[in-house]
Amino acid sequence: MTSGVGDEPFIEFLERHPLTWERLLNVLPDGVAFIDDGGIIRHANAVLTTLTGYELDDLVGRSVEDIVPVAARKNHEHLRHRFVEEARFRTMGRHLNLSLVRRDGSELAVDIALAPIVLGGRPWIITLIRDDSAERSASRARDEIEQRFRLAFEENMAPMAFTDLDDRCLAVNDAFCAMLGRSRAELLDCDSSLFTHPEDLGITESVHQRLITGEVERVRYIKRYVKSDGRVIVAEISKSTARDEGGGILYFVNSERDITEELELADQLAHQALHDPLTGLANRALFDDRLVQAFERVDRYGGFGAVLLIDLDDFKGINDTRGHITGDELLSAVAGRMHSVTRSSDTLCRFGGDEFLYLAEGMSGPGEVDQVASRILGAFDEPFAIAGTFLEQRASIGVVVFDAGRVDRATLVRDADVALYEAKREGKNRHVVFTPSMHQQAASHFELARELRQAMGAGELAMHYQPIVDLSTLSVVGFEALMRWRHPVRGAVAPSVFIPLAEESGLIVELGAFALREAIATAATWAPRGPYLTVNLSARQFHDPDLVSTIEHELKTSGLAPGRLVIEVTESATMLDVAETLEVIDRLAHHGIGIALDDFGTGFSSLHYLTLVKPRIIKIDQSFVSPTHGDQRTMTLLETIVTLGQKLDITVVAEGIETDEQLEHLRDLGCDLGQGFLFSPAVTAIEVPALVTRNFAR
């Protein structure tokens, strides 16, 4: 049976009506090309001309390789033969990511279908070419969505799960499985009661009900899970509702976080925030909180409480002679010993350094505090076994008793400190209870500290300069800068009074900076090759991180040559932190600034530290220069120190020279330099020029 138009066969109809054939090709939605066995395009429809950008006359007669991407042209002829021979290569829509090259050089994503035919006894190929760019874009979009989903869910490091309206797991990611220690197969289609801690099931039910009823759209809560190995973890869960276009609930999205370690760390940090890291005792923050509660209990129930300030006697000597590691071990042992006699109702706190606070509560009368203090002091009766040896350690205690009538908590520790001062003054290793009569002394002490704070701004502080004399020629070679305080009412306040006061009040660094600034500026006005300058630094200032940069700034500002500046520091100050001391000295030496060890011979390990510090100058304490009753042993030590300086090429300065006899003895020993009232007291900056040119020869 033949098909045709009317009685005429279809093929014959097309042959006799070529325009109908052309219209048939052009109504097809895809591009069509007739390609002969030589790969030449012999005919194409209008759609293909649109796809390729060629005019029909330009396209027909062109090699099909012209519209094949460059990378595929080499093998294209071979591939055409395979298309003819193997039917599996002919079907459109195989998603081979094919493309054609348009006339403008751009590439167009296409799908291709091939049909081999024989025309006139020769093999031809009918090629159908479909624009695949929209599908490719849609496919890429789907791929991107799928990739984003994988990143957001499957590959997310945060545990995630999708749950249905019955709280069953619809999907879980690897992180969720790892958090619970269970496989995906164990979790899917199971509700969270499988792995929720039994005591927290009510939390799950309550939250789920709020989401189901629409009371909330999202919620964050914490509950515990039980892992497959029985371990309990704490999870923070963020749960949100996913809805369809009609507002119906599709499922719930759970993003979770194991916060077990985080909570443990928070507990550790909370403990550290309220406890001393060395001793494990309560710190000041916790003590203050307990003190507030103690006041509330005394106010509500009556009775008495007490604050005891405990200070270790002569503890600095332990650090100086045995080092800070041993000192820390002793502090820990002391804390343990005192804690063993602490009542359960009381609080023992490390106040700082070698000081402790003890809060005693629930006392029926003030007399009970004596028992508490005696019990604490008794803890020091036996020596402490530290670093393979036994160390004796004692303590002094200042006590303040309070009841409901005392409303000012802030002054308790201050008053206890006043009482502690009295205990120290009375001979240590005892306790003293504060009385109001002690307050006047403390107030005077505080007032003087306040006035010292104002003294710099008021111009009451000034630097004086005591000459340092070459004992062989008796000419001036240097000056020691010494601070003086002229109080408008009290008159001259001795350095032995206000310097310790500055240490206690924290003003010492500020005063030290003032001394450096004033002294260096003054020395810069002396002759360029004039006398050198020594400036005393306290231990705290010497270990101030900004010290070297401060000195550099003052030298640069004033123009004083660094080689004319000597920093004077006591041996005990250098021993506070040997490593830090050596670093500071190296930095100073790098600039040419010298170091002088003051009060040499009075420290604990002078010879040892001499080899470490390598000072330019050692200053012999005046107790060696003017010994009591001509003590022969002291005289021998003086001679030894001078000889030691000579052997080590260290300049030796003798302090406190007051008599001609002392001067002659020092000259006989070969001591380099000296200073003292025999030559001159410290003078003002205005008087220095007159002394520079003076010779003290008699």
Check whether 104 has a pLDDT greater than 70: yes
Tokens representing 220 are 């964050």
The DSSP line for 662-693 is HHHHHHHHT--EE-STTT---B-GGGHHHHHT
Q: CA 134 → CA 12, 28, 45, distances in Å?
A: 39, 18, 21
Q: Which of these ranges, 76-80, 192-196, 235-239, has the smallest mean pLDDT? A: 76-80
Confidence label for 11 from pLDDT (cuts 50, 70 and 90): very low
User: What pLDDT is attached to residue 622?
Assistant: 86
* b/e per residue 122-142 (b: at least 16 CB within 10 A): eebbebbbbbbeeebeeeeee
Q: Domains in the chain, please, with CATH?
A: 4-137 (3.30.450.20), 156-263 (3.30.450.20), 275-435 (3.30.70.270), 452-692 (3.20.20.450)
User: What pLDDT is attached to residue 84?
Assistant: 65
Q: Mean pLDDT score of the chain, rounded to an integer?
A: 84
Type and span of the H or E element at 244: none
User: What pLDDT is attached to residue 10?
Assistant: 42
Tokens representing 112 are 């291709």
Tokens representing 280 are 């494990």
Q: Which of these ranges, 116-125, 304-313, 688-697, has the smallest mean pLDDT? A: 116-125
User: What pLDDT is attached to residue 630?
Assistant: 60
Check whether 272 has a pLDDT greater than 90: no
User: What pLDDT is attached to residue 604?
Assistant: 47
Check whether 399 has a pLDDT greater than 90: yes
Type and span of the H or E element at 164: none
E strands, 268-332, in order? 304-312
Confidence label for 6 from pLDDT (cuts 50, 70 and 90): very low
Q: What is the pLDDT of residues 684-694, one digit of tens each?
A: 999 999 999 88
Q: What is the pLDDT of residues 316-356, one digit of tens each?
A: 777 766 788 888 999 999 999 999 999 988 999 999 889 99
Check whether 591 has a pLDDT greater than 80: yes
User: What pLDDT is attached to residue 2?
Assistant: 38
User: What pLDDT is attached to residue 372?
Assistant: 93
- Distance of alpha carbon 245 from the chain centroid: 50
Strand, coil or helix: 597: strand
How many whole angstroms separate alpha carbon 533 and alpha carbon 526? 10
Q: Which of these ranges, 404-413, 484-493, 513-522, 624-633, has the smallest mean pLDDT? A: 624-633
How many whole angstroms separate alpha carbon 644 and alpha carbon 652? 9
The amino acid that residue 354 corresponds to is D
| Angle, CA 626 vertex, CA 667 and CA 596 arms, to 5° | 70
The amino acid that residue 576 corresponds to is L
How many whole angstroms separate alpha carbon 184 and alpha carbon 361? 58
Burial of 194 (C-beta count, 10 Å sphere; 0-12/13-18/19+): middle
- 458: DSSP letter: T
Check whether 680 has a pLDDT greater than 90: yes
Q: What is the pLDDT of residues 446-474, one digit of tens each?
A: 788 888 888 888 889 999 999 999 999 99
What percent of the chain has a predicted confidence (pLDDT) above 90?
A: 32
Dihedral, 496, 501, 503, 504 alpha carbons, nearest 10: 140
Tokens representing 358 are 């003890």
Q: What is the pLDDT of residues 165-175, one digit of tens each?
A: 988 998 888 88
Q: Of 113, 132, 131, whose CA–CA distance to 52 is shortest?
A: 131
Check whether 60 has a pLDDT greater than 50: yes
Most confident range, picked from 80-94, 289-303, 313-327, 597-611:
289-303
Higher-confidence residue of 114 and 200: namely 200
The amino acid that residue 247 corresponds to is G
Check whether 92 has a pLDDT greater than 70: no
HEC string of 639-669 equals HHHHHHHHHCCCEEEECCCCCHHHHHHHHHH
Q: Which of these ranges, 95-104, 173-182, 544-553, has the smallest mean pLDDT? A: 95-104
Confidence label for 151 from pLDDT (cuts 50, 70 and 90): low
Tokens representing 9 are 């066969």
- 383: DSSP letter: P
Tokens representing 2 are 């033949």
Strand, coil or helix: 615: coil
Residue 643, number of CB atoms within 10 A of its CB: 13
- 152: DSSP letter: I
User: What pLDDT is attached to residue 149?
Assistant: 67
Check whether 586 has a pLDDT greater than 60: yes
Length of the chain: 698
Model-level pTM? 0.47
Most confident range, picked from 417-431, 592-606, 653-667:
653-667
Q: Of 5, 61, 1, 75, whose CA–CA distance to 33 is shortest?
A: 61
Strand, coil or helix: 178: helix
Check whether 78 has a pLDDT greater than 90: no
Check whether 391 has a pLDDT greater than 70: yes
Q: CA 460 → CA 451, 480, 482, distances in Å?
A: 10, 20, 14
* b/e per residue 660-674 (b: at least 16 CB within 10 A): eebbebbeebebbbb
Quick check: 428 and 394 in contact, CB under 8 A? yes
